[in-house]
Each structure stands twice: as C-alpha cells, then as structure tokens.
A and B are shown apart, each in its own frame.
Chain A
C-alpha cells in the first residue's frame, strides 16, 4: 500500500511566523502537487513539482521536491491570516496499468492575527 505521510496534522501560529509542512513516502512519485482547501470548497492547486530537487516559489510559499522524488516540503514565510486553510499534498505514482494519485492526510493551518 502506498502512503503519503503529511505532518504536522494541525498548526496554529501567529501572523508573521514561518512554518514548514512535510510530506514523506517510501514510494517514488512522477510528480507531486500541493493544494490549499478552504472549508466547503474544492482544493485549489498551488504547484506541481516534477524533477527531483526542484524548488518552486509562489510569493511567500516555497515548495521543494526531494532528490529521490519521495518527499516534499512546503515552507511559508511570514504567514498571514489569509494563509489559513487545509494544505494537501498529493503524489502521482506509477501503478500496474497506469497511475494513481495518493493524498496526504492534510495539514490544517490557522494563522492568528
């Protein structure tokens, strides 16, 4: 069974603090996505990483894909209340007959003003 372990599950921080969310697996992924989801809404795609060691930046968010393409991290600098939400990582893995997307359990972030 392929698993994508995401940590921490919950994070409550003050505005202006930095944080890092991790996704780890023993499986190799052809790509990995990070999503942000607000309550009652669908996940919104933030970034896709494809190449081992790849780093992508989206304003205050920095995403990194591990060299072996088994893990990824999301770092937020100077968090703001608008960053509050559920962050999901999802890895696309090769399986018999095709591909499968595996979701992490999510990190619920709350940024206090």
Chain B
C-alpha cells in the first residue's frame, strides 16, 4: 500500500459544529503532517507528528486539534471554526521528517 487516504473528501459544517478529518497511511512512515491550502496558494504547514508525538505546531488556533492515535492514523478535530477556515486540508506522510512527503487527496472543507 503506497498511498495516503483521507476522509471525508468533502465536508460542510457550521460554525458551532464539531467534526473530525481522518488520515491513514500503511507505508510504515513515522512522520505525518497536516497542511491547509487556500485557492491558488501552496500548502501551509499546520502540524507535524514524528513517532506519534507532536513535534511542530505552526501557531495554529486551538479550534484545530490534532491527534495521532497510532503510527498509521492522524486525525484533525475541528470545533467552532470560522468561514475563513474554509480550505483544502491535506495530510502527508514521510519515512521520517527529513524525507520526501507523500500527500493524500485532501478534504475540501467549507465552513458556513
């Protein structure tokens, strides 16, 4: 298995909702990432997990809460988001964080 999967593909939520994005990889990669990408912009790093521990938080607001239940799974819990949080959320993984990253297909999030 050489891919990163993400669910759901699309998500529409209200500002008072709680939802979660899920990411999975079975390549034995020990680093996993969350990125946010707005239209016509490059991906913007949010969080990095290395060996299931949070190693980088790029000053992301607390309404985004990452979780790494095991080495294959990465979640992003969403609560009280704002319309400006609407974006494509990308998960990626790499063998460790000095190696090339492989991206999932993304979750298109719309906050109403």
A103 close to B40 (CB less than 8 A)? no
Task: Report the bound CA distance from A98 to B55 in whole Å.
Answer: 10
Residue among B42, B99, B106 with max Cβ neighbours from chain A (10 Å): B42
List chain B residues, Cβ under 8 A from A44.
103
Expressed in whole angstroms, the minimum distance between the Cβ of B85 and any Cβ of chain A is: 17
A104 close to B42 (CB less than 8 A)? yes
Given A88-B42, A105-B42: A45 touches B106 (CB 8 Å cut-off): no
Task: Give the interface size class of chain B.
Answer: 20 to 34
Task: Give the interface size class of chain A.
Answer: 20 to 34
Interface string of B18-55 (1 = CB under 8 A from A): 00000000000000000000001111010000100001
Partner of B102, one of A45, A88, A92, A106: A45
Interface string of B79-100 (1 = CB under 8 A from A): 0000000001010100001111
